[in-house]
Amino acid sequence: MFPKLDPLLHSELRLAVMSILAGVESADFTFIKKQTGATAGNLSVQIDKLTTAGYITVEKGFKGKMPCTTCKITPEGRDAFHAYVDALKEYLSAGK
């Protein structure tokens, strides 16, 4: 039987955000937007969903006089991300 995939991470954009954050200490909104190619509005909505789930934290501040939103993966988010990746590996290895 196949493992259940986390529906929150099964979204392409949310998975992309988590993939980026899993590899860095933190990333600002502009960097994530550029890497994913998402619109600011859509990215904001998806970041809110990940924050509500406790998978990431968001800090709002300033770099000089410019507003800056920084995202960071939480330990719970890292665990969920790794569980999702492991589940996908099981799906991929089933046909071998």
Task: Look at residue 80 in the predicted model and tell me its pLDDT.
Answer: 98
pLDDT at 1: 83
pLDDT of 94 over the 90 cut: no
Distance CA(4)–CA(83), nearest Å, equals: 10
Signed CA dihedral, 51, 15, 27, 40: sign only: negative
How much is the pLDDT for 63?
Answer: 87
- CA-derived radius of gyration, the chain: 15
Residue range 50-78: average pLDDT?
96
- Give CA–CA dist 71/43, Å, rounded: 12
- Is a pLDDT exceeding 90 seen at residue 46? yes
What is the set of domains in the chain, with CATH numbers? 12-90 (1.10.10.10)
Q: What is the pTM of this model?
A: 0.92
Question: Residues 35-63: what's their mean pLDDT?
Answer: 97
